[in-house]
A and B are shown apart, each in its own frame.
Chain A
Amino acid sequence: MTRGVGMDVDVTQGNDPLIYPQETPASLTERVCVATLRPDGGMWAPMWWWMCLGVALLLVGMGAVSVAWLFYAGLGIWGIDWPVAWGFDILNYVWWIAIASGGTFISALFFLLRAPWRTSLNRLAESLTLCAALCAAIFPILHLGRPQFFYWLFPYPNTMGLWAQFRSPLVWDFFAILAYVTCSILFWYFGLLPDLATLRDRAQRRWQQVFYGVLALGFRGSARQWRHYGPVYGVLAALMAPLVVSVHSIVGMDFAGGAATGWHSTEFPPFFVFGAALSGFAIVLLVLLPLRPALGLEPYVTDRHVDVLGRLLLTSSLCVAYAYVMDVFSTFYGPDQADRTMFAFRLHGLYAPVYWGTIILNIVFPQLLWWRAIRLNPAVVWPICLGVLVGMWLERFQIIVTSLAHTQLVSAWGQYTPTVWEWSLLCGTIGLFLTAFLLLVRFIPMLAMAEMRAMLGDGP
């Protein structure tokens, strides 16, 4: 791994180039820096940015109220109950953490695979990962009956001599999230160092020079710094790829480790990895399509990229389809009558729309992506991605709520209806996600300049 990714292929050639032919490192650097630093001092940020931020902050406020009331009044304000003790809390946690996976898959996995298209996307994808992981990390704490004691999961020395209970999937989950969030941030920041250095050198205004100068930590591009940079980045990528797989396997084990009907299944770990990939790619496309024109990234994020992401979405959708089929199979092949009863309830019970919505949004619609014309048509791809995100949410609802509502004992069957407080909390996290991402878009280059330069090589 001497230089950046994809030096062997010339990315600017061919009738469908990854990057427009006329682009050079200089032009790239210029374009990105201008977009981020705005030396002309024109409008501080584009109009659409301010509008999005306004909406996002409104949602954040809603979420803040919801959380405040939750802490004051207690878990009872939610709709969870005796048979269905988990609802939106765990549901949204799983949903967000799955969304976070996309960035890691793209920037780590495809770095190892030497996929040249990855370079234009990884910064954007990783930024999405950070924001989504942030939202996910909130729920495990909020869902506690006594959130003030969440730290009891840490293995910390205490006068009672007590430890966390390491046989519990929740503890595995805790460590997984801890590792995943930390590593994602560091991986993202490490890849960002050279670009921060560039911005530091290009900055005109004082605050920018200080801001980026501090963040760049004094990276100057000396041969020595570069010599160790490459190998470390490579190993980091090699670690992140299995990490993300393990995280989602463990999230799967939160349920597979339980005995509830519809949970106790060995297929869950890979099933959840598939699901994570699906929603991960979906969110990247969902954000990329509007952002490309908005930030003027067309020269670097071309139809090739959209095409590739479309194929990935289709592939992961097929994997998820396989998991669904296995779900049915193992239920009806297995010996457990309760599982079958629950599945029948899933198919045509109170929550049947959820199940069928899952199938249609996650499996049926993405099949359109077999056609290249459709893959390249944002007007179709974007709704599909949105549908997939909703579909993945429904899938989690169906796994968590539908199962708990119909466990082994008939006398303990129940239902679950979310309250306004759960909805507002979900909106709040969406707002948090948007806010964080908008800030990154504004202050962090959404293209990995250093790697792009390496890919473009020395211009004439």
Chain B
Amino acid sequence: MIVAAFATESAMHDAAAELRRVPGCAVETYGATQPQEEGAWSILPLVMLGGGMMGGLGGFGMQAYATTISYPLDIGGRPDFSWPSYIPATFELAVLGAVLAGIFGYFITMRLPCLYDPVDDAVAMRDVMAGGHVVVACTGDMSGVREILARHDPLSIEVVGS
């Protein structure tokens, strides 16, 4: 795989865009800040919605079950199914469910934790989270890709792995 570092974000994007047109070439960019992309879309908010629903409904269901079917008690003459008093716990559990779904959903979709990745062998990767801009391309013929990258005057080009 070929790893190229660029001075500016725009240069990195141009290079990446051009490489993506190369058939059979997988491209990924790395940067210290969120890349500006139009129409970025993520499934995770929906996952969190689902987690919230589960937490809330589950919480309410648990309370209703506990106080009406499982072990009904006469508490201060209140009705067994005293739903208003279930609401606070229900809300808290809903939020908890959503948050857990979000965080762990993210980890799962991103396959984190992942402490080693072949690209880590590239020296350029060291500067990514400190403001560097890196394009990584994986393809069969190195020469073509190397030309394209070179055209966008990279700071460095290195070949790592096989």
Contacts and interface: CB of A to CB of B under 8 A. Distances in A.
A–B interface present (Cβ within 8 A): yes
Interface of A: 2-4, 25-26, 29, 33, 155, 161-167, 171-172, 175-176, 178-180, 182-183, 186-187, 190, 194, 197-198, 200-202, 213-214, 217-232, 234-236, 239, 242-243, 246-247, 250, 253, 450, 453-454, 458
B145 interface: no
Contacts of B73: 165
Contacts of B67: 163, 166-167
B93 interface: yes
Contacts of B93: 175, 179
B70 interface: yes
Interface of B: 8-9, 28-37, 40, 42, 44-45, 48, 52, 59, 62-63, 66-67, 70-71, 73, 75-76, 78, 82, 85-86, 88-89, 91-93, 95-96, 98-100, 102-103, 105-107, 109-110, 112-117, 119-120, 125-131
Contacts of B88: 172, 175-176, 246, 250, 253
Given A223-B30, A224-B28, A453-B32, A217 B112 contact: yes
Contacts of B103: 186, 190, 232, 236
B42 A218 contact: no
A226 B96 contact: no
A124 B80 CA distance: 46
B34 A175 contact: no
Contact of B75 (A25, A26, A167): A167
Contact of B34 (A29, A190, A454, A458): A454
B70 A163 contact: yes
Nearest to A155: B62
Contacts of A222: 28-30
B66 A225 contact: no
20 contacts: A2-B34, A3-B36, A33-B130, A166-B89, A167-B75, A176-B88, A179-B95, A186-B103, A201-B125, A201-B127, A214-B113, A223-B29, A224-B28, A226-B31, A227-B35, A228-B106, A228-B109, A231-B40, A236-B99, A458-B9
A57 B142 CA distance: 59
Given A218-B117, A226-B34, A25 B131 contact: yes
A159 B71 CA distance: 13
Given A198-B130, A220-B129, A232-B102, 7 more contacts: A26-B130, A155-B66, A183-B95, A201-B129, A217-B114, A227-B40, A247-B92
A124 B54 CA distance: 33
A227 B66 CA distance: 42
Contacts of A171: 89
A2 B40 contact: yes
